[in-house]
Every structure is written in C-alpha cells, then in structure tokens.
C-alpha cells in the first residue's frame, strides 16, 4: 500500500468520521493511520500519543459543533440566538452520538483535565456570544437585571439549561425560550418579538 502524507486537518477529518460512525472509544493510532492511508510513524509526527490524538479530536468535534454565524450576533434577539445554538448543538449530537457523555473517559487520567479545559473553552465561547447578543438586544427591559439577578447568572443558567435539555434527549427548547422571553421582555414586546 502506498504511503500517503496527510495534513493535520485531513487526519482530524478522518478522526471525526471515526467518532461519528464508531464513537470516540474506537479512536486509536493504528485505526487512524489506516483510515488516512499513512504509516504509524507519520501519525506520531503530528500526534505524539493517543492522548494527544484524542484531545485534538475532541477539540475538532467541539469546533464543528459550535460553528455559528457570529457575523449576525448583533442582529439577533437573544431568544432567537439561543434557539439557533440549541438547533446547532442538537444537530451535532445527532452527528456525534454519545460525544457529550463519553469523551471524558476516552482519554487517560493525565489527559482528562486537558479534555475538560477544551470543553470549557468552547462553552465559554458560547457564553461570550450569548453576552454579546443580550447586550445588543434593544427590546430587553432595562430593569430585567439587578444585583440579585445578574446577567452573568442568567446567561450561565440559560447555557446550563440548554446543555441539560440536550443531554436528556429533548428535541426542542421551547419552554426555555418562553422562559427567556418572559424574563427579558415586556409582555407587548414579547408578542412583537415572537419566538
């Protein structure tokens, strides 16, 4: 078999395909090298260990899950944006079954904190985009937040609720969207804004 020299991105594309079809636990150096048509030594050039390969794959999957059009952050209402994020993540879960629940056990003890940091980085990016959309939503009531009910607390609650709904296998987040709308908007503005 001729040796193929794949780029790091090509390797990660093959890794994502393995995760889609067989799960993260099926990922190992030999399987990936064979899928890429490259020698095992060449794969070690890019990823010095299985842990490094799995963590890079986890990051690649998270990146794929969170491809959101940030160019329209300031033009979306907060509920619309949360709904879009939920839809994107729901689609991602269909593409990568069990990814959310098993990736922490697919790396050795040494790599678990790095895998967790990768996940937290992407969740922080979602929180940041939530914050941007919320700040630029002109219909949010001026008195919606105070010292005991802060924007940050609200945003964390929304993200945690969204992730919980996804982990429990819900196909929609309609109740969460309604709760957000009732919290942020005057009743007539909520009706005007729609879902």
Q: What is the chain written as a DSSP string? A: -------HHHHHHHHHHHHHHH-GGG--HHHHHHHHT--HHHHHHH-SSHHHHHHHHHHHHHHHHT---GGGGGGS-HHHHHHHHHHHHHHHHHHSTTHHHHGGGSS-HHHHHHHHHHHHHHHHHHHHHHHHHHHH-TTS-TTS--SSS-HHHHHHHHHHHHHHHHHTT-S--HHHHHHHHHHHS-HHHHHHH--
Do 78 and 113 have their domain in common? Answer: yes
From 60, 1, 64, select the one nearest 36 (Cα to Cα): 1
Do 53 and 89 have their domain in common? Answer: no
CA 19, 21, 22, 23 torsion-angle sign: positive
Other CB atoms within 10 A of residue 39 CB: 14
Do 156 and 183 have their domain in common? Answer: yes
Tokens, residue 55: 């963590």
pLDDT digits (tens, 9 = 90+) for 38-93: 999 999 999 999 989 988 998 888 888 776 555 566 678 999 999 999 998 898 88
Residue 149 domain-assigned (yes or no)? yes
CA distance 51 to 107: 6
Do 97 and 121 have their domain in common? Answer: yes
Residue 3 domain-assigned (yes or no)? no
Residue 2 domain-assigned (yes or no)? no
pLDDT digits (tens, 9 = 90+) for 130-171: 999 999 999 999 999 999 999 999 999 999 999 899 888 899
Do 28 and 77 have their domain in common? Answer: no
CA distance 163 to 100: 9
Tokens, residue 110: 């040494």
Residue 139 domain-assigned (yes or no)? yes
Domain that holds residue 169: 68-193
Residue finishing a domain among 60, 76, 101? 60
Do 174 and 93 have their domain in common? Answer: yes
Q: What is the pLDDT of residue 106?
A: 52
CATH code, 14: 1.10.10.60
Contact 129, 73 (CB under 8 A): yes
Average pLDDT for 6-31: 90
Do 100 and 28 have their domain in common? Answer: no
Do 107 and 91 have their domain in common? Answer: yes
pLDDT at 194 over 70: no
DSSP 35-54: HHT--HHHHHHH-SSHHHHH
Do 116 and 73 have their domain in common? Answer: yes
- Using pLDDT thresholds of 50, 70 and 90, give the confidence band for residue 26: confident
Do 99 and 75 have their domain in common? Answer: yes
Do 124 and 168 have their domain in common? Answer: yes
Do 125 and 147 have their domain in common? Answer: yes
Count of domains observed in the chain: 2
Q: What is the pLDDT of residue 69?
A: 54
Q: What is the pLDDT of residue 59?
A: 87
Average pLDDT for 175-195: 78
Residue finishing a domain among 38, 60, 82? 60
Residue finishing a domain among 42, 60, 78? 60
């Amino acid at each position: 078999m001729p040796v193929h020299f794949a780029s790091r991105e090509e390797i990660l594309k093959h890794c994502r395909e393995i995760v889609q079809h067989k799960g993260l636990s099926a990922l190992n150096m030999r399987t990936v090298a064979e899928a890429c048509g490259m020698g095992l030594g060449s794969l070690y050039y890019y990823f010095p260990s299985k842990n490094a390969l799995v963590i890079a794959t986890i990051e690649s999957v998270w990146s794929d899950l969170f491809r959101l059009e940030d160019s329209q952050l300031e033009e979306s209402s907060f509920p619309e944006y949360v709904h879009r994020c939920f839809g994107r993540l729901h689609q991602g879960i269909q593409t990568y079954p069990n990814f959310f629940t098993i990736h922490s056990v697919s790396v050795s003890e040494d790599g678990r904190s790095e895998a967790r940091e990768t996940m937290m980085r992407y969740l922080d990016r979602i929180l940041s985009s939530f914050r941007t959309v919320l700040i630029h939503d002109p219909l949010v009531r001026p008195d919606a937040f105070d010292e005991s009910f802060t924007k940050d607390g609200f945003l964390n609650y929304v993200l945690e609720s969204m992730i919980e709904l996804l982990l429990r296998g819900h196909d929609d987040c309609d109740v969460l969207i309604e709760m957000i709308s009732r919290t942020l908007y005057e009743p007539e503005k909520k009706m005007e804004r729609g879902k």
